[in-house]
Amino acid sequence: MSSLNYTSKEQIKEENADALKASLKADLGRYPFEATLPELGPMVSSALHAAENLETWSSPEKPQVEAWRSGWDTTIFKAPKGTVVNISPWNFPWVLTILPLISAIATGCTCLIKPSEHAQASAALIAELIPKYLDPDAYAVCLGAVEEATYVLSLKWDHIFYTGSEKVGRIVAEAAAKQLTPVTLELGGQSPVFVDGDSTNIEIAAKRILWGKQQNAGQVCVAPNHVFVQEQYQSALVEAFRKAYDSFWPNGPLDSSSEMARVVNVHHYERNKSLLSSTKGKVAFGGQAGQDLRIEPAIVTGVTMKDPLMGEEIFGPILPIIPVADVDAAISHIQLSPTPLVIYVFTENEEIKNKFVQRTQSGQLILNETFAQVAVYEIPFGGQGESGYGSYLGKYSFDTFTHQRGYINVPADEGTEGFMQGRYPPYSAPALEFFSQALKTKIPDA
Amino acid sequence: MATTVSMIPKIRDGLRATFRSGMTRPIAWRQHQLYQLARMAQNERELICDALKKDLGKPRTEVLMAEVGSIIERAVKSAQQLPEWAKTEYPEVADWQKPWKPTLYKAPRGTVLIVSPWNYPMILSFQPLIGAIAAGCTAVLKPSELVPTFSQLLAEIVPKYLDPNTYRVVNGAVPEISKLLELQWDHIFYTGNGRVARIIASAAAKHLTPLTLELGGKSPVIIDSAYDHDLAAKRILWGKCNNAGQICVAPDYVLVQRDKQDELVRAFQKHYNAFFPEGALDSPSFGSIVSDSHHKRLTSLLSRTKGDVVLQGRADAARRRLEPTIVKNVAGGDSLLEEELFGPILPIVPVDSLDQAVDFVNARSHPLVLYAFSDKESVKQQLVSETQSGGIVFNDTFQQLAVHELPFAGVGESGYGYQVMKYTYDTFTQLRSSIDMPKEAEPYLAIRYPPHSEEAVKALTAAVYTPIPPSRQ
């Protein structure tokens, strides 16, 4: 049943690719490449990946057990949790709605999806296409805003999958608490970057960071939020950003020929403009606000942790550079901040890499790259601390909507019953002796 | 003796500082703490048995067999398997991603809170703690105030064996637990009931704290009419009598084919007499009810039943003793089917078919465990696919707890999150993903940067046009 629905899903994307891209252009000003690479592409490949692996993932496991229990047919069944809901955000309205739906299908759950009202064209198209391709008795779409979402959250679900803000994440967890519903919270945070000027190739670093930042005009949960660099390398880094900037947008980001998404709505457009005007740092270049809710990516130097730009997740095309004395200072700032979804580190130095592994916490730790990690289905995508809990992609998605149901079958034969005779009352000393092997476990001297 | 409320935030902050210091990272350090925990259970077992005898009237055999032994064994086994569990993993990926070195670090979640119940306080305090220690977390353990002698004992012996900067026992009741719940934790592991679980989940929501909820519910027993009812009765009664039925996985009620009900009742009576030749009231092989209010709750439920009492258990409120009581001809809506019994009362619900039994179970909340007695493959298949429960156990009760290769968890009202051995370790561990993009990859990555040529767009968006295998509904 599940694999049939996958193929339907992929069909949606292929046959309706143009309509899909149009909806993203309407909602977010996405140019075709940016509609396809991070959204349509992964939707198709995730569905196919799940269909291919479905049998393996859903097969009951037979763990190896101790000899005296080997006759009990110990099994772990992969049971669907039941009826689940996916509440998705506006920034990547297709992929973040569909990927959890894929796992619901794969695990045998039924699913309600609630796309964001802030990406209206996408939500409308989702509501139109889903019932055409998928069984409407098993998968449904709910459109609406706060009132509808609140109502959805008041019902009992077997799992709630939420992608969005910390603030609403708390509301979702609170609603789930009343029903004892397990939750996945894919939140965000201020994902920091550390550029180790001593060892890394600053040009490559700048290009990779800017590429990650400009995705969807910085409106991604894994966007590099701000950059720490050793003071002495700040200008070199700015130069490198300038070079990358010019190569991405030879005519400037606001030019009609340039590929650059826009800010989602007036509220966020004004918010970003206000951040730029109130920063105590220096806008090195970029930042000009255009028509059509587009804002040039801005590099801001000499920013401190107390700056308005550091008040919350920027979720926009502004990149603050925070000069620090050394990596320890950067790590100290990171440790005192809420746990982010990702920490990005650009370094060739093993010791520095190890410092981040040991002394920091984050959902993911990505070296010498931004964003590309989401293409790797074999590593879980999820947060830690304020950036959320639970994870998905690949098998992790499957596990999210699955309950591992333990099973044993104890034989009725005389051998087994005789073996267990001593467990029944009245408890006798010899019986206790027999069952107390564990008490006498030899504890190593360590 | 309760921990002072004002001390609680300081304790939490101290544990956080310890976590941050990196002290718990080395595997050898964690192994030592696990061995210390095993030593504590081994060396102090008589004190532990005495405390539980005092608080719960628990037979020494039950404590040693079901609690202390398991902790020693699992602490040692966890220490031995820890290097394997903690290994950084390098998942197999597609060729084009191999140069990115995809990596999974096993990162400790941080500073965690474990809240344990009164009924199996030794194992339910330390089994989660074993996982937390193994994972490299720091932890507060809050044992139940309903076992005051035991909780006080923990406050004394835990700091003697485990590092007091890393693991702390916090005692108290509502004010202390409320204070604990105001604070942020990196994980809360709660074992108990659904009402309190909602309170804890709500407090956790404010801090976006992930949870494990090990709850209970009414675990049904379905008996296939073809199965040996004598053996079934023995194995069910044994499960019911452990700790006088006060366990989350106690067989709560039995669904039996109507024409086999009396045979089942006779079997129960026979095995009861074998277990307790003088009756259970004064037997050292049978535990007491934890408190006066629970004793009253149980006798009150019994007084309201519309079923037929076939084995009348004697009650002694002063000593909080209640003998096993078996009631037949119980129907839906009966007092004995209202809530999780958590006591030595066994309602028998006659049904006319297996399908009816399945419907009866499915009309109710998902139980922690579904017990079924049958030899038929078809019955097993039907129950596995048509019901939902934390676990499903055929032809025995309770014994699944010995199988530490299985994840132990509830579903729906019976909770969520897994424990036992590696499952507990995983609960307290975060899989922190990583990649490392080589500099040399830059020429291959070049086409992703704007401005995008037609070729670049074609190459990078080819995935959309992957051929889809044909399929039909």
pLDDT digits (tens, 9 = 90+) for B337-389: 999 999 999 999 999 999 999 999 999 999 999 999 999 999 999 999 999 99
A370 has a pLDDT exceeding 50:
yes
Residues A423, B65: C-beta atoms closer than 8 Å: yes
Size of interface A-B (CB pairs under 8 A): 322
Count of H helices and E strands in chain A?
16, 17
What's the rounded Cα separation, in Å, for the pair A331 and A428?
A: 60
Interval B188-198: pLDDT, tens: 999 999 999 99
* Rounded average pLDDT over A238-266: 94
- For A33, the closest chain B residue by CA position comes to B457
Interval A37-96: pLDDT, tens: 788 888 888 998 999 999 999 999 999 998 888 999 999 999 999 999 999 999 999 999
Residues B407, A44: C-beta atoms closer than 8 Å: no
Residues of chain B contacting residue A204, judged by C-beta atoms under 8 Å apart: 439, 442
Tell me if chain A has a CB within 8 Å of the CB of B409.
yes
ipTM for the assembly:
0.92
Phi, psi of A142 (to 5 degrees): -115, 120
* Rounded average pLDDT over B32-37: 98
- For A444, the closest chain B residue by CA position comes to B35
Does the pTM exceed 0.90?
yes
How many angstroms away from the CA of A437 is the closest CA of chain B?
8
Best of B468, B471, B473 to substitute, by most chain A Cβ atoms within 10 angstroms, is B468
Active site residues of A: 186, 221
Nearest residue, CB atoms, A405 vs list B389, B436, B466 = B389
pLDDT value, residue A10: 65
Structure tokens at B156: 């004394």
Residues of chain B contacting residue A11, judged by C-beta atoms under 8 Å apart: 468
> If you average pLDDT over every residue of chain A, what do you get?
92
Residues A278, A314 contacting (CB under 8 angstroms): no
Residues A241, A210 contacting (CB under 8 angstroms): yes
Structure tokens at B214: 């090990």
Residues A249, B450: C-beta atoms closer than 8 Å: yes
How many angstroms away from the CA of B72 is the closest CA of chain A?
6
Active site residues of B: 214, 248
Tell me if chain A has a CB within 8 Å of the CB of B197.
yes
Interval B43-81: pLDDT, tens: 999 999 999 999 988 888 889 988 999 999 999 999 999
pLDDT value, residue A12: 62
Residues of chain A contacting residue B389, judged by C-beta atoms under 8 Å apart: 405
Nearest residue, CB atoms, A178 vs list B91, B198, B435 = B198
A1 has a pLDDT exceeding 50:
no
How many angstroms away from the CA of B272 is the closest CA of chain A?
9
How many angstroms away from the CA of A314 is the closest CA of chain B?
21
* Rounded average pLDDT over B421-430: 97
Based on C-alpha coordinates, what's the Rg of chain A?
Answer: 26
* Rounded average pLDDT over A218-229: 96
How many angstroms away from the CA of A282 is the closest CA of chain B?
26
Interval A163-179: pLDDT, tens: 999 999 999 999 999 99
What's the rounded Cα separation, in Å, for the pair B108 and B86?
A: 10
Q: On the CB side of A53, how many CA atoms lie within 13 Å of its CA?
A: 19
Adjacency order of strands within the sheet including B187-191: B167-169, B138-142, B111-115, B187-191, B211-214, B415-416
Residues of chain B contacting residue A443, judged by C-beta atoms under 8 Å apart: 35, 38-39, 42, 72, 76
pLDDT confidence bin for A401, thresholds 50/70/90:
very high
Residues A180, B408: C-beta atoms closer than 8 Å: no
Residues B434, B102 contacting (CB under 8 angstroms): yes
Q: Residue A389 forms beta bridges with which residues?
A: A185
Residues A439, B205: C-beta atoms closer than 8 Å: no
